Amino acid sequence: MKNINIAKEFSETPLGRFADDSLYNGTTFRESFLRPALDANSKVAVVIDGVEGYGSSFLEEAFGGLVRKGYYTSGQLAEKLEIRFEDVDFSVYRDLIWKYINEAKMESKS
């Protein structure tokens, strides 16, 4: 299993969807860390605690974006992706991540 620790490997202050929002945004995390790890491994654990917090824009773009962009279905992510944390305050973010994954609809290519 591949582990990704957001605070240690990406940023303690992830924010926003796009590069316009911040250097450490949801698109950059998805494209540079999450998707390559999912492509190369059968299971990926993402450690989400240790950061300042998460806005919904970052979480939706990073995780919901995997489905919207057509990289994975929500069913595949349920098999491959695990969200980990020790700080119980972060359980709310885990719930949001799965909400965004399950609500996301694949974008049409037109």
Q: Which residues lie near other proteins (CB under 8 A)?
A: 11-24, 52-58, 60, 64, 68, 89, 100, 103-105
Q: Minimal distance in Å, beta carbon 94 to other proteins?
A: 13
Tokens found for residue 51? 């950061």
Looking at beta carbons only, is 15 or 38 nearer to other proteins?
A: 15
Cα 39 off chain centre by? 14
Looking at beta carbons only, is 24 or 44 nearer to other proteins?
A: 24
At residue 22, what is the residue type?
S
Looking at beta carbons only, is 2 or 94 nearer to other proteins?
A: 94
What is the β-pairing status of strands 81-84 and 44-47? parallel
Helix (H) or strand (E) holding 78: helix 74-80
Looking at beta carbons only, is 35 or 64 nearer to other proteins?
A: 64
Only one residue has tokens 């919207």, namely 68
Q: Minimal distance in Å, beta carbon 95 to other proteins?
A: 14
Tokens found for residue 37? 């790890």
Q: Minimal distance in Å, beta carbon 90 to other proteins?
A: 8
